[in-house]
Amino acid sequence: MSIDLETARRVAKLARIKVEDEALPALADEFNTILGFIEQLNEVDIEGVEPMTSVTPMRLKRRDDVVTDGGHPEKILSNAPDAREGFFAVPKVVE
Amino acid sequence: MSDLTKLTIAEARERLRKGEVTSVELTEACLREIEGAGALNAFVHHTPDVAMEQARAADARLAEGDAPAMCGIPLGIKDLFCTRGVPSQAGSRILQGFLPEYESTVSQQLFDAGAVMLGKLNMDEFAMGSSNETSTYGNAVSPWRRGNDEAELTPGGSSGGSAAAVAADLCLAATGTDTGGSIRQPAAFVGITGLKPTYGRCSRWGIVAFASSLDQAGPMTKTVRDAAIMLGAMAGHDPKDSTSADLPVPDFEAALTGDVRGKKIGIPKEYRMDGMPEEIEALWSRGQEMLRDAGAEIVDISLPHTQYALPAYYVIAPAEASSNLARYDGVRYGHRAKLSQGDGITEMYEKTRAEGFGAEVKRRVMVGTYVLSAGFYDAYYNRARRVRTLIKRDFEQVFDAGIDAILTPATPSAAFGLGEMSDADPVQMYLNDVFTVTVNLAGLPGISVPAGLDKQGLPLGLQLIGRPWEEADLLNSAYALERAAGFVAKPAKWW
């Protein structure tokens, strides 16, 4: 599997990272180096092997479905690059 | 009194309890050393006011006789830990200006035990790197040099600032985190002890997430005893981290008898790599002799899927990172790019992330995005998770066969020069973690112990890998190795 410029562009778009056109060839090369390294995994016989979901077998704890925290909007907004009237502010989303 | 900063935690604890020294004196001595060590670029956010306040509180507790083991001990905290009101950037530009409104569980537990925070420590951006060269703060520099050669060396990564600070006696110990080797490799590069506990031993709450199924916090210390003491304060169940284990925390220090008679130490043949430097090979053999002389039985073992650990890691870790780092979108915290006329929310995300993330982080986020994307999820991500199952099974089988611990080299080389790897492709850098990454994939505890110097006079470490949850036994084996190795070398001060 080899990554072409179009795939590199699509991956950057999916990752929401702006990559200038002139940077795409180098990026595609790096992807190909890393994916080439990962290809080794195809040598492993994984027939009948379950994908790992939890490295230490454990049952997740349960708790009552009740509110345990909240009521501090100022703290939640305190690090926002732009917050107004108790909300996070972003560029216009809907026309 | 500058020798105060050279104390181990255990020595300082005794002197504090006897009233021979105060935490304020210890803390002031460390702050002076930090002040004079700008060339190492280890401490990137200084918190002298927090430190002095905590030191005075610790002295008050000591005076009342209420003194847990870590009470009054000055520490450095890796920048990955969120610390309330103190910059916590994970070494990234994208978190510039972020002041957490909360405290990570691990740092809170250390503070509850009376520990003192001197400041935040340099690291690779989002803990992605093996040389501390991907940090937004610039490189951390090792206090070690190759003889009289003034070339700057890497302290390793990602916990490079932690390693440099402890090795240079700027603090008594430091916190680190380890996703593929980020505690053990830097510890080995600078001649200190670094412990990655069993996955789930320490809460991950409040630690900036890289790869959640692999990340684990641990102590970076001057001795094995200090690692045992500090782990005791860091570990424990936390309802805020559903993967933290609800298991009692044993007295790790009490396990340090140094008696390893009858212990079975496994030597995995797959860790004998082609092209491994002779010195690493020789150190590994000496380590086996030391443990044999101490009464342990050395057993040849096989971990057949070892060579697939790094490729599996470079699917799983980027996949988890791409998901975890999706939160850096310029909305809730940190950096937001300046927008042009007409830019919408997508441009805001794309420009913010392009400006805020460094090259290695972008690379890994995009690789992770690719392996999780439609059509490739099974071929890459699910295959890697199945290989991970096999890697863990390899370890389970040798432990079931009676092996108590596994001895390996910690790193495939001594520390390299900053910039020396800049022309290498990313995979060459990834090979630094070849001996450590298996441990994260299997969720096991691993410890790096300084064991010798190479021909250039640089430290080399050996790694011991233990059974899950048996850090106490692992620390005891490490203690026996430490005593036999008798590593006492220190870097000559040039900074």
Q: Looking at residue B2, what is its pLDDT?
A: 56
> pTM of whole model > 0.80?
yes
Confidence of residue B183 (pLDDT cuts 50, 70, 90): very high
**B282-336 per-position pLDDT tens digit:** 999 999 999 999 999 999 999 999 999 999 999 999 999 999 999 999 999 999 9
Instruction: Report pLDDT digits (tens) over A1-22.
Output: 578 999 999 999 999 999 999 9
User: What number is the ipTM of this complex?
Assistant: 0.95
Angstrom CA distances, B159 to A65, B59, B119, B401, stand at: 38, 30, 14, 34
* Residue B38 neighbours by CB under 8 Å, 6+ apart: B495
Bridge partners of B43, per DSSP, are B121
Structure tokens at B299: 């057993």
Q: What pLDDT digit, counting tens, does each position of A31-71 carry?
A: 999 999 999 999 999 999 999 999 988 888 888 999 999 99
Alpha carbons B29 and B39: distance in angstroms, whole number: 18
| Selection from B61, B85, B84 nearest residue B73 by Cα | B61
Q: pLDDT > 70: what percent of chain B? A: 100
Gap from A10 CA to chain B (nearest CA, Å): 9
DSSP B208: P
Q: In this complex, how many residue pairs, one in chain A and one in chain B, have their CB atoms less than 8 Å apart?
A: 168
C-alpha distances out from residue B227 to A18, B29, B446, B494, Å: 43, 22, 12, 27
Q: Could you tell me the two tokens for B152? A: 């700057």
C-alpha B162/C-alpha B32 separation (Å) is 17
- Summarize pLDDT for B441-472 with one digit per residue, the tens: 999 999 999 999 999 999 999 999 999 999 99
- According to DSSP, residue B98 is labeled -
Candidate from A17, A51, A88 with C-beta closest to B382: A51
A39 with A2: CB under 8 angstroms? no
In single-letter form, the type of residue at position B315 comes to: V
Task: List, for residues B85-140, the tens digit of each pLDDT value.
Answer: 999 999 999 999 999 999 999 999 999 999 999 999 999 999 999 999 999 999 99
Are the CB atoms for A41 and B383 separated by under 8 Å? yes
Nearest chain A Cα to B378, which residue?
A: A51
Predicted confidence band of residue B276 (pLDDT cuts 50, 70, 90): confident
Kindly report the nearest CA distance between residue B61 and chain A, in angstroms. 31
| Residue for token pair 């230490």 | A56
Mean of per-residue pLDDT scores for chain B: 97
Is A31's Cβ below 8 Å from some Cβ in B? yes
Q: How confident is the model at residue B193 (pLDDT cuts 50, 70, 90)?
A: very high
Residue B386 tokens, joined? 């199945």
What per-residue confidence (pLDDT) applies to B275?
82
Q: Tell me which amino acid residue B69 is.
A: A
| CA gap B459, B157 in Å, rounded | 15
pLDDT digits (tens, 9 = 90+) for B411-430: 999 999 999 998 888 888 88
Whether chain B has a CB inside 8 Å of the CB on A23: the answer is no
How far apart (Å, rounded) are the C-alpha atoms in residues B181 and B441?
A: 11
In this structure, the dihedral spanned by the alpha carbons of residues B11, B225, B283 and B124, taken in order and rounded to 10 degrees, is -90
Residue pair B166/B221 in contact (Cβ under 8 Å)? The answer is: yes
- The radius of gyration of chain B from alpha carbons, rounded to an integer in Å, stands at 21
Specify whether the CB–CB gap between B116 and B73 falls below 8 A: yes
Which residues on B lie below 8 Å from A55 (Cβ)? Answer: 199, 213, 388, 392, 441-443
What would you measure as the largest C-alpha separation in chain B, in angstroms?
A: 74
Active site residue B78: yes
Establish whether B269 is a catalytic residue: no
**CA separation for the pair B414, B153 (Å, rounded):** 10
**In sequence order, what E strands does chain A have?**
83-84, 87-88
Contact residues, chain B, for A49 at CB < 8 Å: 386-387, 389-390
Q: Which residues of chain A are within 8 Å of residue B468 when distances are taken between CB atoms? A: 56
Residue A94 has pLDDT above 90, yes or no: no
Is B158 designated active site?
yes
* pLDDT tens digits, B355-380: 999 999 999 999 999 999 988 999 99
Q: Are B412 and B431 in contact (CB under 8 A)?
A: yes
Kindly report, residue by residue over B53-67, the tens digit of the pLDDT. 999 999 999 999 989
Rounded to whole angstroms, what are the CA distances from B372 to B126, B320, B354?
A: 20, 9, 20
Q: How far is A43 from chain B (nearest CA, A)?
A: 9
E strand intervals along B105-164: 116-121
- How far, in Å, CA of A68 to CA of B313, rounded? 36
State the pairing for strand pair A83-84/A87-88.
antiparallel
Q: Is the pLDDT of residue B1 over 80?
A: no
Is the Cβ–Cβ distance between B97 and B166 less than 8 Å?
Answer: no
Contact B175, B75 (CB under 8 A): yes
Split at pLDDT 50, 70, 90, the class of A92 is confident
